[in-house]
Structure 1
Amino acid sequence: MRVAHGDSAPALQIEGLSVRYGRSVTALRDVSLTVADGEVVTLMGLNGAGKSTLARAITGLLPAQGGSISAGAITSFGAPLTRRSPRAIVRHGVAQALEGRRIFGAMTVAENLDMGGTTVGANELKANRSRMMELFPRLAERHDQAAGLLSGGEQQMLAVARALMSSPRLLILDEPTLGLSPKLVTHVRDTIRAIRTAGTSVLLIEQNATMALAVADRGYVIEHGRIVHEATAAELRADTGLQRLLLGLGSEDAA
C-alpha cells in the first residue's frame, strides 16, 4: 500500500453537493466534506440522514439507485469523479465496502477477494491476497470455504478485505459495525487503524459514534441531508448535544 503525504491534494473533496431521487426527493443538500491524504474522517448520522446516498455519489453507484447529482462537485486527489463510471473510480483508487456486506455467498472467500482485485495486475493481486490473509487471519482459515457460510462478523471482514484488494488510496466504509458484537466492533476499529497506518485514507460512515470517534481524526454530522456539524474527533466526543442526537455515545469503551 502507498504511503500518505500530507502536502498532496485531498483524498476526497466534496463541494456543494446536492442529490435527487427522481424529480421530487432531494436526499442531499449543499454538502461539503474533505478527507485529507492519510486521514480518517467519519460521517455520522441517524438512519435516513443521507450517509449511504453520499457514499453512492462518490463511488458512481447513484444512478443504479435512481439518483442523480443536481449540483456540486466531487474530486479525489485532484481528479473529478462525478462523471466517471464505478469501475473507473475504482481504477482511480477509490473503493467502498458496501453497507450490508454484499458478499458473493456461493463463491469461496478466495474467489470473493479476487473479485475485488479485478482492476489490478496478477502480481499485485497475489500480493494483495497475501496481505489480506495477514490482516484478517480468520479469512485465511476459511480461504476455501463458501462465503455464505461465514458468520456475520467474518462476512464483514471479507467485505472490507475485498474492497482493499484494489489497492485503494481512499477506502469508504459504509456502516462496517452494523449488527456486530462489541468484540467484533473493537476488531473493526483496530483494522481501520491498521489500514490508515498502511497509507490508505478512510471515510468511515457510521452510526456507532463511540467507535467512529475513537478512530477518526475529524468528523461530520449529517441530518436530513445536510451537514450540521464539523469538528475534530475530540471536540465531537465532548459535545453533549451530539450525544443526544446520535444516542449511545459512551455506551462502550472507546480506548
Structure 2
Amino acid sequence: MQERDAQSADALDVAGLSVRYGRSITALREVSLTVRAGEVVTIMGLNGAGKSTLARAVTGLLPVQGGSIASGTIRSFGEDVTRRSPRAIVRHGVAQTLEGRRIFGAMTVAENLEMGGTTVRGAELRENRDQVYQLFPRLDERRDQAAGLLSGGEQQMLAVARALMSSPRLLVLDEPTLGLSPKLVTFVGDTIRAIQEAGTSVLLIEQNATMALSVADRGYVIEHGRIIHEDTAANLRADEGLQRLLLGLGAEDVA
C-alpha cells in the first residue's frame, strides 16, 4: 500500500518554504508549489528572484551555498525530503542539473556519465548509459573526449545526461538554456519533451519564458522570493501584461 501511495503522489509538493542565507537575507518567502507526476512545471522570474535557491532547496544543496530552510516542507512522491542530504535525495529519485553546467572538464564524457550514475549499479547503469547515448548521439560520438573541450551546447547535453544516469523520477533543470544559441534552445526544449514522454517529471527553472512555456504544462512566476502568479502554460502565454511586466517579453514573443 505504501508503494502504491508513493507512486500516485505528487513528484514534488513544496509548502510554505522560507529560505535564509545567514541571519539577515531571506531568499524565499513562504513558497508553495506542486509538480504532479508526469508534468513539466516551470518556475520563471528575473535574475535574483529566487529560482536557483528554490532548486537548491529541493535537491538538498542549500548548505553548500550557506543557505538553510527556515520553515516549510518539501515532499517528493509522498516522502518528506525537507532536510535530507543531496545523496539521499538523489537516491530517492530527484536529480538536478546545476546552473552553469558544472561538468568535470578534465574527465571524459564517459567518466562524467559514470559520476552521475554512482547511485545505480550493474545492468541499470549500463541501460541508463545506453539510453542517454540514444537521446544524445553526439555524446556517444565524443564519449572518450575531455568534457572541457566540448562546445557549450554539448556541455549542456552532458549535464542533462549525467543527471539522467541516476534514474530520476523528478529532474530539476536550473537554467538549461543559459548562453545557448536559439537553435540549441529549441533542442533543449525537444529534449525536455522527450524526458517527459519517457516518464520523468520535470521542474524547469528558466528565465527564457518563450522556451519554458512552450514545453511546460503549468508555470509559476517568482519575484523577490515570493510566488506571485501561477496558471497553465497556455494562460501564461496569453497574459500579455504579465509577460511585459515580469519577463520583458511582448505578445509576439510568446504567441
TM-score normalised over the length of structure 1: 0.95
Q: In the aligned structure 2, how far is the partner of 1:117 from the partner of 1:165? A: 5
Per-residue CA distance 1:192-236 (angstroms, 9 max, x = gap): 000000000000000000000000000000000000000000000
Secondary structure of residue in 1 paired with 2:106: coil
Cα pair distance change 1:154/1:19, threshold 3 Å: same
1:157 aligns with 2:124: no
In structure 2, the partner of 1:139 is 139
Q: Which runs of 4+ in 1 moved over 6 A?
A: none
Confirm or deny that 1:75 pairs with 2:75: yes
Partner of 2:109: 109
For residues 138-178 of structure 1, the C-alpha deviation after alignment (integer angstroms, 9 at most, x for no partner) is 10110100000000000000000000000000000000000
Deviation (angstroms), 1:252: 5.7
Residue 248 of structure 1: aligned partner: 249
CA distances 1:75-116 after superposition (whole Å, capped 9, x unpaired): 000101112110000000000011000000000000000100
Whose helix fraction is larger, Structure 1's or Structure 2's?
2
Match of 1:61 in 2: 61
Name the SS of the counterpart of 1:31 in structure 2. strand
How large is the RMSD of aligned CA atoms in angstroms?
A: 1.6
Q: Percent of aligned pairs with the same residue?
A: 80
* Alignment partner, residue 30 of structure 1: 30
Indicate conservation of the 8 Å contact 1:210/1:250, yes or no: no
Compared with structure 1, are the counterparts of its residues 219 and 249 closer, same or farther at alpha carbon in structure 2 (3 Å cutoff)? Answer: farther
Q: Do 2:44 and 2:205's aligned partners in 1 also have CA atoms closer than 8 Å?
A: yes
In structure 2, the residue matched to 1:212 is 212
CA contact 1:90–1:168 (8 Å) conserved in 2: yes
Aligned to 1:171, the other structure's residue is in SS state: strand
Shift of the 126–14 alpha-carbon distance from structure 1 to 2, 3 Å rule, reads same
> Do the aligned residues in 2 keep the contact of 1:208 with 1:249 (CA within 8 Å)?
no
Aligned-residue offset at 1:188: 0.2
Which residue of structure 2 lines up, in the alignment, with residue 46 of structure 1?
A: 46
Contact 2:218 2:233 in 1 (8 A): yes
Residue type at the aligned position of 1:243: Q
Contact kept in structure 1, 2:240 and 2:251, CA below 8 Å: no
Match of 2:87 in 1: 87
1:175–1:206 CA contact under 8 A, matched in 2: yes
Structure 2: state its 5+ residue gaps.
none
Q: CA deviation at 1:240?
A: 1.1
Amino acid at match of 1:34: T
State the one-letter code of the partner of 1:211.
M
For structure 1, list consecutive stretches of 5 or more residues without a partner in the other structure: none
Q: Which amino acid counterpart does residue 147 of structure 1 have in structure 2?
A: A
1:242 Cα deviation (Å)? 2.0
TM-score, normalised to structure 2's length? 0.95
| Structure 2 CA distance for partners of 1:135 and 1:252, relative to 1, 3 Å | farther
Range with greater deviation from structure 2 (35-44 or 117-126): 117-126
Count residues with an aligned counterpart. Answer: 250
Equivalent-residue separation in structure 2 for 1:144 and 1:253 (angstroms): 40
